[in-house]
Amino acid sequence: DIVLTQSPALAVSLEQRATISCKTSQNVDNYGISYMHWYQQKPGQQPKLLIYEGSNLASGIPARFSGSGSGTDFTLTIDPVEADDIATYYCQQSKDYPRTFGGGTKLELK
């Protein structure tokens, strides 16, 4: 199985930049496509797709969210952080079955 590793938590101040990393145990790129996606989940709510294919913004997602990386190292950036962004963020790969998620990074306010 492809293991995705995220830091459990990140403390950030409003209006600052948040950088959330995701490292995979195997390359999740293929033919120039990154099979890496990012989701946001607020307490008591279902996950919401933020970024797909490593760097593409999902429909309706504000431009302060961006994704980057390739191979085994990926990053979700929120710049600037707003109060509404306090949530848990998950990376997920769809290159191989079983589909796997990172453990999630809880974004907290300093």
Partner 1 sequence: EVQLVESGGGLVQPGRSLKLSCAASGFTFSNYGMAWVCQAPTKGLEWVASISTGGGNTYYRDSVKGRFTISRDNAKNTLYLQMDSLRSEDTATYYCARDYYDGYYYVMDAWGQGASVTVSS
Task: Name the site residues for partner 1 (rule: CB under 8 A).
Answer: 30-31, 33, 35, 37, 39, 41, 45-49, 52-53, 58, 90, 92, 94-95, 97-104
> Sign (positive/negative) of CA torsion 79, 84, 90, 94?
negative
CB of 86 to partner 1, least distance (A): 17
Residue with Cβ nearer partner 1 (52 or 74): 52
Residue 64 backbone class (left: φ over 0; alpha: ψ -120 to 50; beta: rest):
alpha
Amino acid type, 81: V
CB of 26 to partner 1, least distance (A): 15
Residue with Cβ nearer partner 1 (64 or 106): 106
